Structure 1
Amino acid sequence: MPRKKAADTKIYVLDTNILLHEPLAFMSFKEHDVVIPMTVLEELDYIKDSKKDVARDARVSIRSMEDLLRDASPDDMVEGVSMKGLGSGPSAPTGSLSIFTDLTMPEGQQVFTSNENDNRIINVALNLQASHKPQQVVLVTKDLNMRLKAKGAGLANVEDYRTDQLITDIKYLSKGYHKFEGNFWDKVKSVDSQTEGRDTVHTIDKKVLPEAYINEFLIDEEGTFAGLVEHMTDEHLEVLDLGVERMMGRHAWGISPKNIGQAMAMHALLDPHIDLVILTGPAGSGKTLLALAAALEMVVERNMYDKIIVTRSTPEIAESIGFLPGTEEEKMAPWLAAITDSLEVLHKNDENVKGSMNYIMEKANIQFKSVNFMRGRSIQNAIVILDESQNLTASQLKTIITRCGEGTKLICGGNLSQIDSNYLSAVTSGLTYLVEKFKNFSGSATINLDGVVRSRLAEFAEKEL
């Protein structure tokens, strides 16, 4: 049992899903103590040898804890082993890590009718809460139902894991653009404009938009101005004048933008200086179609890249892909139907749609890959389209982004209202984390597409259902 300490430090009891979400999560609690119930180790042991895509995370977590506890005696493991020296900086851990083996409540104090793993972990927290007053004991889990059960059982403090959560509400997520009320030029008191060829750059006072960031689009309600923040200092913003009509007149692979949101997305997608484009928005807003059209334009027409790699999150694929017939591309086809649907749309007016699609897939060297098989690769001079990325964690997205080598452009698309993961929400999704982390990176751009253009039926359903 962990040693009793001053009431200003806390004891955090971690659920298994926390260590699967972030394998080194036990090092994220600074001066506070961390308790790992034996049940969690048992679950990690079961998962590490499974075919699930989180098996690697389980093994990483087990190895990390073993490195810390290797020389500890049984008594030390129960009382807690100091984590000092495991990191540097103000967030480095200074508390202790202990393994808790007492999994049952005393006779007559049971609050659960079954001995399920979740109930045993909650019992650990309840035991600690009873024995370590007034020190605060906190159960940390991403399982919403488990949080409800713990509170109902009498546990005072239950939390989600929030160290990788950068915003408190999805409404605060960066949209990638700022819309001014009325006319943009009514907000600007002084401006210095310079023209080079077709490009005009306006230098304006930063007070017009104090929280601006690189590659943020600027538009106004009247639809008379569209610009892009190219450079900024403490006092000024340099805004590239894009021109609304010029943006709306652009096209890629026969596709033209239907609204200003799609026009901004197309500008970012076709810009060779932007290595990461993040597209968010509801179903039917054009994320996949725009990404594919821009990719085909840059690979086939402009010869800027060698190939297109299409991948997406498939939670169950690690277990079921092996049973499907064919090559990896053929196995992935059911999960990547959105891409083939978009290809059909792009070639629907051709005389032989299927023949055109096969020709283009060969000409553009389009490859379908599973996210689970991206680890360890180095992708050079390609366009990577990552579809349905709202279901990925921050660490999974990091794995994919770090695969991108020289000359590779990554396009991440996702709808934060359609998260399928049991342990992710709109604010904890890796896509949300990515938007906020890369907001100030000069090689990235984010666009939130808020208009449903698929059909009037889809638009009505998005609003009313």
Structure 2
Amino acid sequence: MAPELRKKYILDTNILLHDPFAFLNFKEHDVIIPMTVLEELDAIKDRKKDVARDARIAIRSLEEIMHEATPEEIVEGVSLKQHDEEEHDKGTLAIFPDHLLEFNTSQLPGQENDNRIINTALHLQQQFKPQRTILVTKDINMRLKAKGAGLEHVEDYKTDQLISDIKYLSQGHHQFDGDFWASVEDCESETEGRETSHILPRDIFPNTIFINEYLHDEGEKFAAKVIAHDKDSVKIKDLGKERMMHRQAWGISPKNFDQAMAMDALLDTDIDLVLLTGPAGSGKTLLALASALEMVIEKGIYEKIIVTRNTPEIAESIGFLPGTEEEKMAPWLAAINDSLDFLHRHDECRESSMNYIMEKANIQFKSVNFMRGRSIQKSIVILDECQNMTASQLKTIITRAGEGTKLICCGNLAQIDSNYLSPLTSGLTYIVERFKDFEGCATVNIAGVMRSRLASFAEEHL
């Protein structure tokens, strides 16, 4: 690549915390890490918060590339080609000694870390013109400051964004207009036991179709699930709307067809990963817990239920709470207790029933921090509020699943609490897209709020 076309990317600290290997994702362009970023990583790596692990990984990954380089080569830039499996040209990785920069009137005053990083970008922009110098940060305010200070190019880190707009996120189901069977001219059917499947021409389906995607029409009968597809044909499993709407799990029946699809996926032992998205009050957690109790206690398919969720400040404050790990987790998992309470609301002695179920189903409340290193066998793992997790954090949990384990991820992309995540960069969005055509995964977006008419009105109008 011609030198004048190579871009200079300056990475902020939050980029390396979001993705410790981010510097490998800029193709043939050059990546520069200001010394201030290393100082921030050093300050973060010993904290008790969960982010310390990402800081340590980033530091080790930088050291792996630069451990044999001389001081001059580190400043000039170390080639990244040998660290990438692809054959195309790769850029360089450099550490910039921004502490040696002298302040001038065209730069931001003060010694705040953000200002020092922005000043580094301004200096490099002037030094390497006409090459494009780009500051990459997930901090929105820092992007505004950089623009205001005169930096021409400032970007968010978008390498891990698999879709350009959240409206393109897979919903896990598709509705046909009118009567589905009216458009079918050629059909080959197979019956095995109580299950019927159909092989249909590919051209009657949408352009994109995925395994375990649910199909239904505007009528009251047709409902099916894709179980195989190629360029010529699609094989679907006939489910039937009426049968799906009459299914039960721990006394709970679906209130709409979205919930019926979710319950079908939750009760299907051939599906190892269920991803439930949708607004607050749509029934994600309640359906997940009811289905888990059904399969653990009534059917004996799994041995226990593990409930966990992302808690941004848990590593810092959990130690100050009294009791065992389960008792420390209780404030963050109140939604599970609320769902258990609802499921046993008609019992004569509700508290005794809940205690019995907690023991019988071996329900365990665990912190995400303590899930690492475990191998979970023959269990149902419910991961609630996972819209606040990054892709790497979710990978850590998913890779814990051992033989005979089912993982249920629930999240509402409209309620992200993380400072650096958006609906497009959330780990939930990432795994929905990555797993959408995996035979062991099903995604269902549950529309509609079933909690109350007040909650439904608030969801629509606030």
Provide the TM-score with structure 1 as the length reference.
0.97
Deviates more, 1:452-461 or 1:99-108: 99-108
Q: Work out whether 1:116 is the aligned partner of 2:134.
A: no
- Which residue in the other structure is 2:452 paired with? 455
How far residue 197 of structure 1 moved from its aligned partner, in angstroms, is: 2.8
Distance in 2 (alpha carbons) for counterparts of 1:74 and 1:5 = 26
Cα distance in 1 for partners of 2:57, 2:373 equals 16
Q: 1:103·1:124 contact (CA, 8 Å) conserved in 2?
A: no
Query: Conserved in 1, the CA contact under 8 Å of 2:283 and 2:450?
Result: yes
Task: Report if aligned partners of 1:29, 1:93 keep a CA contact under 8 Å in 2.
Answer: no
Amino acid at match of 1:175: Q
RMSD (CA atoms): 1.4
Aligned to 1:85, what secondary structure does the other structure show?
Answer: helix
| 1:128 and 2:124 correspond | yes
In the alignment of these two chains, the number of paired residues is 461
Residue 96 of structure 1 is matched in structure 2 by: 92
Paired amino acid for 1:160: D
Counterpart selection for 1:66 from 54, 60, 63: 63
Note the C-alpha offset of 1:109: 2.5
Query: In structure 2, how many angstroms separate the alpha carbons of the residues matched to 1:269 and 1:95?
Result: 46
Matched, 1:280 2:303: no
**1:285-434 equivalent positions in 2, closer than 5 A:** 285-434=282-431
Distance 2:36 2:220 in 1: 59
> How much does 1:105 deviate?
6.5
TM-score, normalised relative to structure 2: 0.97
Given residue 69 of structure 2, which amino acid in structure 1 is its aligned partner? A
Question: Matches of 1:163 and 1:37 in 2, distance apart?
Answer: 20
CA displacement at 1:159 relative to structure 2? 1.2
Q: Do structure 1's residue 437 and structure 2's residue 429 form an aligned pair?
A: no
Q: Which residue of the other structure, out of 12, 17, 29, is the alignment partner of 2:14?
A: 17
Q: 1:154 to 1:188 in 2, by over 3 A?
A: farther
* Letter paired with 1:374: M
Following superposition, the deviation at residue 191 of structure 1 comes to 1.6
Provide the rounded CA distance (Å) in 1 between the counterparts of 2:38 and 2:89: 21
Q: Which of 144, 168, 175 lines up with 1:172 in the alignment?
A: 168
- Distance in 1 (CA, whole Å) between partners of 2:20 and 2:316 is 21
Aligned match of 2:210: 213
Q: Which residue of 2 aligns with 1:84?
A: 81
Structure-2 change in CA distance of 1:107 and 1:279 (3 Å): closer
**What is the aligned partner in structure 1 of residue 154 from structure 2?**
158
DSSP-derived class of the 2:234 partner: strand
* Runs of 5+ consecutive residues of structure 2 not aligned to the other structure: none
Counterpart AA for 1:445: A
Does 1:222 find its partner at 2:219?
yes
Shift, 1:157, TM fit: 1.2
Which segments of 5 or more consecutive residues in structure 1 lack a partner in the other structure? none
> What's the offset of the Cα at 1:295?
0.1
1:192 and 2:188 equivalent? yes
Which whole-Å deviations, capped at 9, do the CAs of 1:106-141 have from their partners, x for residues lacking one?
Answer: 554244343211111111111111110111111111
Q: Secondary structure at the match of 1:7?
A: helix
Residue number among 19, 30, 42 corresponding to 2:27 in the alignment: 30
1:391-422 deviation per Cα after TM superposition (whole angstroms, max 9, x unaligned) = 00000000000000000000000000000000
1:208 CA drift (Å): 1.4
Write the distance in 1 (CA, Å) between the matches of 2:442 and 2:331: 30
Could you tell me how far apart the structure 1 residues matched to 2:146 and 2:92 are?
A: 24
Secondary structure at the aligned position of 2:227 is classed as strand
C-alpha distance 93-12 of structure 1, shift in aligned 2 (>3 A): farther
After superposition, the Cα gap between the structure-2 partners of 1:434 and 1:93, relative to the gap in structure 1 and judged at 3 Å, is farther
SS at match of 1:308: strand
1:103 is displaced (CA, Å) by 4.8
Asked if the contact 1:28/1:93 (under 8 Å) is kept, the reply is: no
Q: Could you give the per-residue CA deviations for residues 321-358 of structure 1, whole angstroms, max 9, x where no partner exists?
A: 00000000000000000000000000000001111000
SS in 1 for 2:81: coil
Q: Which residue identity is paired with 1:15?
A: D
- Partner-residue secondary structure (3-state), 2:5: coil
Aligned equivalents of 1:107 and 1:372: distance in 2? 42
Is residue 2:141 matched to residue 1:145? yes
Matched, 1:41 2:44: no
Q: Give the counterpart letter for 1:188 in structure 2.
A: V
